[in-house]
Structure 1
Amino acid sequence: MQITNLRSKFNIYWRKVAFICIVLFTLANQAYAQRNVAMNNPNYDDRFLSYGFLIGIHTTTYQLKYSDRFVSKELDSLYAISPSWSPGFSLGFIVNMHLSEFLDLRLLPKVSFYEHRIEYLRLDEPKIDELVETTVVEFPLLLKYKSERRGNFRMYMVGGVKPGIEASGKNDVDEISKENLNIKSFNMSLDVGFGIDMYYPLFKFSPEIRFSKGMTNMLGNSGNELSAGIDRLNTNTITLYLLFQ
């Protein structure tokens, strides 16, 4: 049952990922076609420090590992714990340091708004819908590897780490956190992605898609029934960023 549910979710969301990839591929073709056009801001990337802001639209879910108690008689009425993908967004700033012709170091402090949904499916009982809403302050530190510039376009890849600290969420409300799933306030993720720098006369615009894999077990130490069947919770996030510099 769990495998079938995961396949169903994959079939829904792979189309969104494929659409974003097609858009970026189309922009890459335009970059190649315009390699001989007049260059906007030809010396922009030579600046040691540059700044900007970003807007992110993401979809996120928990990846869980069942505990040994999940198959015990204690939880015999519970037959599946099913996370689902949920949308959210983020806002932040860009601090970019030029290291070499093809390599930058960038810090992207931002505030992200997350919703994580989990369904608890039970035999002969109504399902339980658990919603975890959090506002997280994140500090992605990434290396940006750039291709050679072609006209007013340049492809790039990014990778690095993303620590995050919860600023507010359900865990701030005592009477709710005792009955609901308890989540830790700190998360560390590994990020990898790719994008396109598009140079305009007054600014640089960069659409980017980034995948984030949480490395921290987000399950808190609460012993209530919602956490009894779970051994580990990790975050998975896919984000489309719009960066302006």
Structure 2
Amino acid sequence: MSRLGKYLIFLGKLFTNREKFRVYFALVFDEAVQIGIGSLLIVAIVSFFLGAVTCVQTAANLDNPFVPHYIISLIVRDSTILEFAPTITGIVLAGKVGSNIAGELGTMRITEQIDALEVMGINSTSYLVLPKIVAAILVFPMLVTLAAFLSIWGGYLAGWMTGAISPQEYIQGIQFEFKAFNVPFALIKAVVFAFLIVSISAYQGYFTSGGALEVGKASTAAVTNSCIAVLIADYLLAQLLITT
């Protein structure tokens, strides 16, 4: 059987013979706290400086006196909402959350904890993986929203402190010809990326075999495959929702 087929069967088991809904409430909450709170710092730092760098570099390249300064913040706004906030956040979380999930499930597999759940009659796939996916789908859009805000704010501070653009011009650029669909588009990306990152990482960890070395390899494969999936999904979503 191909790896894709095995992955699809793995996803199908998430919804078969699952536990009662009340069993998942505490699990989803714990996973949401672990994914969300645990990722706040890295997302905040990356987003803030990404917006600052985008503002400074855009200002340095727009040296034409006929180009209004508010174009700088317009570029920061659109690039942040459409691409940087969802995609870069997704890649960062693929490295942090994805490796953690693959390592956790891989360790449970080689220590036979997953086998123990199966012996007890529990669908280990649904019990261990479904709460992680649900929590990520709930938390990722919040992190992307925070990333977009901090990135635009970082550009504002960088432009003001370097004198590249005045605060009034920056605000004007943010408001100029704003397309409201860009926000739900970014949130759609966040949901899709969350599902891909968690499901692929869980798949890699769940089917780990061997010892500690294989757990490390599974974590590496989870990050690599998740990043590739995020970039492919990024292109497909842009093609489907933006250019059509």
| TM-score clears 0.5 | no
Which category of TM-score, normalised to the shorter sequence, fits these structures? Answer: under 0.3
Of Structure 1 and Structure 2, the greater strand share is in 1
**Under a length normalisation based on structure 1, what TM-score does the superposition of the two structures give?**
0.28
Higher helix residue share: 2
TM-score of the superposition, structure 2-length normalised? Answer: 0.28
**Which of the pair has the greater relative contact order for Cα pairs under 8 Å at 6+ separation?**
2
